A and B are shown apart, each in its own frame.
Chain A
Amino acid sequence: MGKKLSLITDGFIKNNPTFVLVLGMCPTLATTTSAINGLEMGLATLFVLVLSNMAISLLAPIVPDKVHIPVYIVVIATFVTVLQLVMQAFTPGAYATLGLFIPLIVVNCIVLGRAEAFANKHNVWESALDGIGVGLGFTLSLTVIGLVREVLGSGAAFGWKFMPGDGVLAFVMAPGAFLVLGYLMVIFNKYLKKS
């Protein structure tokens, strides 16, 4: 049981996809203009990650080695299309805000990375747990980055405004994304990373 649990919790700090593995930088920077947006993007990735991990761990024994990358990409693209259709139907608002970055989950290196590094060598349940762990780690870091940018940039947290007027607008725009990620990485390196 402890081993199963560590599959999930490893994704938070030890194998954190954003701060340790430095994967999936594009959605991390682009969609974290507020905590809610970061959370939604993280959950969308989590959805694809869990399903593609499970499908790939089932498919891996029968896929010839030579064509495994194209096959994995098609599997991932299929789940992304499912996600696109589901989001269009049930959460059109989130679909519109995240926009281009939903189809771009296909080329998110986290998803293909976990398929290559974990799912094709483990059974379906372990792969699902790994997907949940890494997905939650990604969601957590995106939400934290989004929260910091929202607090500094628009004086609000999760849409709740605690300060009148605007914050430092640059934090919501492009430079703020790089700056906040850079400084959070410094904090992570200093206090959380075990050397």
Chain B
Amino acid sequence: MEYFAIIISAIFVNNILLAQFLGICPFLGVSNKLSTATGMSGAVCFVITLATLVTYLLNAYLLVPLKLEFLQTIAFILVIASLVQIVEIVLKKISPSLYQALGIFLPLITTNCAVLGVAITVVTKEFTFGAESHMLDLPQALVYALATSIGYGVAMILFAGLREHLAGNEVPKAFKGLPIALITVSIMAMAFLGFSGMV
């Protein structure tokens, strides 16, 4: 039951883009075309889940026992940056086709605040389940990370679909480009607000 609550909450209720505002820069940057949006969502999904696994273990078995929690920010960003590099090298070697699809997005992901945001959230925030609240254990943290990145993908792909249509419409000059995109996202966020109170 807790897993179900985590999944629904992470995908719809607390959608990472539309409710938590993490990873907005790539969201606005690469959502012009449906295909690039799909590629970016795939890469983000992969990196967020992997990064959460590594940083969770690092935090639980190294930083907490040594009382070095104040180093979280530095340690996590270093881990994420090197992880992205490793993923890039490994993918290039073992699956060139996947590398072709995700490759160009990987360097961008280091500075995607969604990755660091999720990694910090799972080790610092207490989650509420019904009456009680507690920190996530490792499987729950991984489910949360996966569900959050699926939520990222859902919002990203929906928005890319909208934006492709937007490109063909005539809008006043001052609204062209980002302003009209932001206003569209606002309406999407309103729709997602309808999910609040579900969990």
Which residue of chain A is the closest to B191 with respect to CB atoms? A175
Q: Is the CB of A23 within 8 A of B113?
A: no
Binary interface encoding of chain B residues 153-190 relative to chain A, with 1 for a CB under 8 A from any of its CBs, else 0 = 00000000000000000000111001111110111011
**Contacts A26-B25, A183-B179, A189-B174; A85 near B74 (Cβ below 8 A):** no
Chain B CB within 8 A of A22 CB: yes
* A175: chain B residues within 8 A (beta carbon): 186-187, 189-190, 193
Q: Is the interface of B mostly helix, strand, loop or mixed?
A: helix
Q: Is the CB of B25 within 8 A of A29?
A: no
CA distance A78 to B190 in the complex (A): 38
**B-contacting 9-mer, from A51-59, A98-106, A123-131, A149-157:** A98-106
- Beyond the given A81-B74, A100-B121, A103-B116, could you list 11 further A-B residue pairs with CB under 8 A, ordered by the A residue number? A69-B81, A73-B81, A73-B110, A74-B78, A85-B70, A109-B111, A174-B193, A177-B21, A181-B182, A182-B183, A183-B179
Which residues in A have some Cβ–Cβ distance to B below 8 Å?
22-26, 29-30, 69-70, 73-74, 77-78, 80-81, 84-85, 100, 103-104, 106-109, 112, 170, 173-179, 181-183, 185-187, 189-190
Which residues in B have some Cβ–Cβ distance to A below 8 Å?
18-25, 28, 70-74, 77-78, 81, 110-113, 116-117, 120-121, 124, 173-175, 178-183, 185-187, 189-190, 192-193
